[in-house]
Structure 1
Amino acid sequence: MSEDREAGDSPEETRSVDKLSVAALTALVAGSMVGAGVFSLPGRFAREAGVAGALIAWVIAGVGMLMLAFVFQMLAIREPKLDSGVFAYAKAGFGEYLGFFSGFGYWASACAGNTFYWVFIMSTLSGLGVRGLGGGDTVLAVAVSSVGLWGFFLLIRKGVQNATFINTIITIAKIVPIVIFVLLCIFVFKLHVFLQNWAGADYAGSLGEQIRGTMLVTVFVFLGVEGASVYSRHARSREDVGRTTVLGFLSVFAVFASVTIASYGIMPMADIAALPQPSMAGVLEHAVGPWGRWFVSIGLIVSVLGAYLAWSLMAAEVLSVMAESQDMPRFLARTNRNGVPENAVLLSSLLVQLLLVILLFASNALDLALDLTSALTLIPFFLAALFALKLVLSRNGGTEKNTGKNTLVPRDIMLAILACLYTAFLIFAAGLQFLLLSFVIYAPASILFVMTRREQGRTLFTAREFVILMVSLIGAAAGIVALATGFIQL
């Protein structure tokens, strides 16, 4: 999960990266896409898939996410006025209510991601010997996380912002352990262990089930792909835009796949699956000794704390931008004397706090937070891909009229179709349980939509919007029943 989702650059940063070379721009794009989720990859994959399943899963995720990255890049070029976030595409293509749902889901995903960060930190400290924190889901862990949560709230409320030196520290803290991990794993790689892990352990299902079981974690680590197009304006030429997107994405893809696959040559997958998170630390400890765990864990904690600040700012910005565009109640756009949208920051912090408490009752808090973060982004991503398809097909069968030329764009049509198919597959792979759980979170958000319409003196729901409301309420009701009956288990 990246800390730069939809994050724009400050004026100073924009000037400093203007007109970069292909190599420099590729590094910038790649750095923005590597997040803390990579530290959890060995364990998450080993619980679901063997080497063969993991390789196929990464190919599917790599191709699908690259198509999605190209779609966001295409939309940034074709519709530059839609610059208020992913939800703007859903609103432009399918109306205000679906646009609202898209924005709310994206915001809720950011809050779930911040919840994951706190659980991840607590689990990491537990692995270093701090007692009482368990897997980040004990009462003590939630209490410590809550102190950190509201401490950050006070800092942000006072106007603390991301700074270049903070981003530099974050980048070093996350990249150096990853590079060292891959190099050391290659050095101590055991071919016979790797081959034993090829088909998967006894607990792994069929190849199809193995692939499906890894899809949500691949979505999680690639969160931030939608922000890669932000840097396109700094390219020296339009040709460099596509080139840097591909090179940056492939670099990140190589890192994620290498961390996953190299681990299979160090330990039996059942042993990897049993490691506490961050599993990368456990694998490196097995390979080189105790210092490996400390090395990875310290880098992770520094990286995650910095990323948490960035994601907290981003979550609040999503709400405030939606309020400014009259898609959320006005109170969420109000700023304090420090220029901070205080109510948006408060609401974001309250949701993180609620999720931390809920995770006390989860069988695996870290996995639930990760999967929920991924699941909540699927609808916004699917609607953005669907809007791209609608856009290219509505222009004279795939011609771009903005240029004044009748330029055929079959490439754009193909990219949009593939992105739609991939995001639809992700919704299927997530399964009915996470779809219903998403409805449970989405449906109550309609209260904010009603508040917004009342402020504007407008009809609460059009006929079409009322149908969407009914679908969301039925889905939420089904989700609540599923939770009550045990069909959905946290």
Structure 2
Amino acid sequence: MSDTKSRAHSVNLWSLVALIIGSTVGAGIFSLPQNIASVAAPGAMLIGWVIAGVGMLSVAFVFQILAHRKPHLDSGVYAYVRAGLGDFIGFAAGWGYWLGSVVAQVGYATLFFNTVGHYVPIFSADHQWTSAIAVSLLSWAIFAVLARGVRQASVMNFITTAAKLLPILAFIVLTAFVGFTWDKFTLDFWGDSTGLTVMQQVQGIMLFTVWVFIGVEGASVYSANARIRADVSRATIIGFFSVLVLLVAVSTLSYGVLTQEELANLPDNSMASVLEAVVGPWGGAFISFGLCLSVLGAYVSWQMLCAEPIVMMSVDELLPRAVGKTNAAGAPWVAQLISTATIQLFIIIFYLNETSYLVMVQLATIMYLLPYIFSALYLLLLAVRGQGLAHPHAGTKFDLSGPEVGAGENRRHLYIGVIAFIYSLWLIYAANPVYVLLGALAVLPGLLPYVGTRLAKKEKVFNAFEWFIVALVIVGSIAGLWGLKTGALTL
């Protein structure tokens, strides 16, 4: 008994910090200089990072607080949304998180082959279909491996984490001491030449800042295994600010090497191009190698993990039970097959339309926002009324009680929930409307298996609040399709 207990509480402070950094620092940081410069000057960039820092830290604390207040909810981040706002809202959040991961997979692979294409011309932008075929083969090969129950080894996690951090740290040191010039950084500091106001520029970078922070809630997932419960809060703060320093340093130093216009015209792996401008071709090759190894390792992990939301929803009977079916090796092969087939569908759609990595990032981020905004709303409901909304299932209680919370602590939770909720709403407002409407369109197909599952179980499908959300999804989907058809909306 004591041995089991010691293993269950074996994750120390620095392991939790490593989990946050490892899960948050991914492919996004390598394309950050170009992404930020495409919409903002240095002054607006710094304001944007202040807003993102406060907002994303509040989001991280939302998940940590919910993990403490509702320790029995262990079906992923969507479980909080389901418990607080009902089955359909929980389903929509889980479905959105799943599709966001699918779109992100295509984005990761696109960035990988675009980087390889700089050195191997057959994968360059002039050979889109070569890259599309390569991405498809990679996805199906990984599916074949995952279907056998093989999991990424810890040594691979260490290698890919080192592959991410070493080039980033080298980039920061070299650009800071060799390439950075104050005159270039302050040139058109507020972006007067862009014709955009400072707040328009800040608005433009918001989704990019969320994209590079995905995974910051990682410590809360392991809170039950923490050696000391207070380490979860400490790890969240240490890990968050460590990541924030890396992100701000990369984006800030880049403006001191190249002008905003030069940065905006760089390829997707823009960090490599910036370092190449500082130390020559070897710098770009060094960053590119780190990016490729990092993305390739992460691609395997995320293809495995992106099936988890639909597996969990199948276990919770929001999707047909067959979706969560496992094989003799213990792998959820049906969910993996569905996810890989969906990745293949998006590969075809994106490459037929010559969709850029930038577009994939923004669409994926909108989908990830669903569990963020609804989880913040659940925390607000807990702080104000002590429970979530009623579920369609009469007599079934999902919002189970947790540890007692004092008045002062509850008030602190309320403040954090308010900040996270307002920040999440601001992100929706700041996004290009086309991504919001395409997000609604992406949720729409999920209605078919969800409603079918409900009817098969002879259960009430929607309550009044859920009908309202369904109506918004349908109206948004129609508006998105009409806008794309008429040209009123463009990617």
TM-score by length of 1: 0.92
Residue 232 of structure 1: CA displacement?
A: 2.9
1:332-362 Cα deviation digits (max 9, x unpaired) = 1111222111111111111111111121244
AA at the equivalent of 2:233: G
CA distance in 2, matches of 1:445, 1:404: 37
Within the candidate set 196, 211, 217, 2:202 is matched to 211
CA distance in 1, matches of 2:161, 2:362: 24
- Name the structure 2 match of 1:5: none
- Name the structure 1 match of 2:365: 374
- Name the structure 2 match of 1:431: 432
Residue 268 of structure 1: CA displacement?
A: 1.1
CA RMSD of aligned residues (A): 2.2
1:176-226 Cα deviation digits (max 9, x unpaired) = 000000000001211111111522372362101110110111111101023
- Name the structure 2 match of 1:163: 153
AA at the equivalent of 1:389: L
- Name the structure 2 match of 1:475: 476
CA distance in 1, matches of 2:332, 2:163: 29
CA distance in 2, matches of 1:204, 1:356: 35
AA at the equivalent of 1:448: P
Residue 464 of structure 1: CA displacement?
A: 4.3
* SS of aligned partner of 2:212: helix
- Name the structure 1 match of 2:48: 57
- Name the structure 2 match of 1:8: none
- Name the structure 1 match of 2:218: 227
8 Å contact kept, 1:201–1:269? no
- Name the structure 2 match of 1:143: 133
Q: How does 1:339-350 map to 2 (within 5 A)?
A: 339-350=330-341
Q: Which moved more, 1:451-460 or 1:142-151?
A: 451-460
Within the candidate set 242, 246, 262, 1:271 is matched to 262
8 Å contact kept, 1:142–1:357? yes
Residue 377 of structure 1: CA displacement?
A: 1.3
Shift of the 18–204 alpha-carbon distance from structure 1 to 2, 3 Å rule, reads farther
Residue 273 of structure 1: CA displacement?
A: 0.9
- Name the structure 2 match of 1:484: 485
Within the candidate set 292, 298, 303, 2:289 is matched to 298
1:461-484 Cα deviation digits (max 9, x unpaired) = 445433432321121111110111
1:18 aligns with 2:19: no
Q: Which moved more, 1:177-186 or 1:192-201?
A: 192-201
CA distance in 2, matches of 1:129, 1:190: 33
Q: How does 1:82-481 map to 2 (within 5 A)?
A: 82-134=73-125, 138-188=128-178, 189-200=180-191, 202-203=193-194, 205-362=196-353, 364-395=355-386, 402-404=402-404, 406-409=406-409, 410-481=411-482
Shift of the 208–453 alpha-carbon distance from structure 1 to 2, 3 Å rule, reads same
Residue 15 of structure 1: CA displacement?
A: 4.0
1:124-151 Cα deviation digits (max 9, x unpaired) = 112224235308x812211111111111
8 Å contact kept, 1:91–1:100? yes
AA at the equivalent of 2:303: S
AA at the equivalent of 1:186: A
Shift of the 197–356 alpha-carbon distance from structure 1 to 2, 3 Å rule, reads farther
Shift of the 251–84 alpha-carbon distance from structure 1 to 2, 3 Å rule, reads same
CA distance in 2, matches of 1:263, 1:386: 37
CA distance in 2, matches of 1:126, 1:380: 35
Gapped runs of 5+ residues in structure 2? 388-400
8 Å contact kept, 1:93–1:387? yes
CA distance in 2, matches of 1:203, 1:32: 35
CA distance in 2, matches of 1:425, 1:474: 21
Q: Which moved more, 1:405-414 or 1:443-452?
A: 405-414
CA distance in 2, matches of 1:144, 1:129: 13
Shift of the 27–183 alpha-carbon distance from structure 1 to 2, 3 Å rule, reads same
Q: How does 1:35-50 map to 2 (within 5 A)?
A: 35-50=26-41
CA distance in 1, matches of 2:318, 2:36: 39
1:86-132 Cα deviation digits (max 9, x unpaired) = 21111111111111101100100110110111111111112224235
CA distance in 2, matches of 1:448, 1:120: 32
Shift of the 251–359 alpha-carbon distance from structure 1 to 2, 3 Å rule, reads same
Q: Which moved more, 1:354-363 or 1:189-198?
A: 354-363
CA distance in 2, matches of 1:96, 1:344: 20
CA distance in 2, matches of 1:408, 1:268: 49
* SS of aligned partner of 1:125: helix
CA distance in 1, matches of 2:331, 2:405: 44
Shift of the 24–151 alpha-carbon distance from structure 1 to 2, 3 Å rule, reads closer
8 Å contact kept, 1:47–1:204? no
TM-score by length of 2: 0.92
CA distance in 1, matches of 2:328, 2:106: 28
8 Å contact kept, 1:171–1:303? yes
CA distance in 1, matches of 2:315, 2:118: 44
Residue 443 of structure 1: CA displacement?
A: 1.1
Shift of the 406–369 alpha-carbon distance from structure 1 to 2, 3 Å rule, reads closer
Q: Which moved more, 1:466-475 or 1:188-197?
A: 466-475
1:220-261 Cα deviation digits (max 9, x unpaired) = 110102322123344443333222211110000000010000
8 Å contact kept, 2:149–2:331? yes
8 Å contact kept, 2:19–2:218? no
* SS of aligned partner of 1:202: helix
8 Å contact kept, 2:366–2:436? yes
Q: Which moved more, 1:430-439 or 1:170-179?
A: 430-439
* SS of aligned partner of 2:306: helix
Shift of the 344–261 alpha-carbon distance from structure 1 to 2, 3 Å rule, reads same
CA distance in 2, matches of 1:204, 1:171: 40
Shift of the 298–460 alpha-carbon distance from structure 1 to 2, 3 Å rule, reads same
Gapped runs of 5+ residues in structure 1? 1-10
Shift of the 405–363 alpha-carbon distance from structure 1 to 2, 3 Å rule, reads closer
CA distance in 1, matches of 2:158, 2:123: 33
* SS of aligned partner of 2:20: helix
8 Å contact kept, 1:82–1:88? yes
AA at the equivalent of 1:419: A
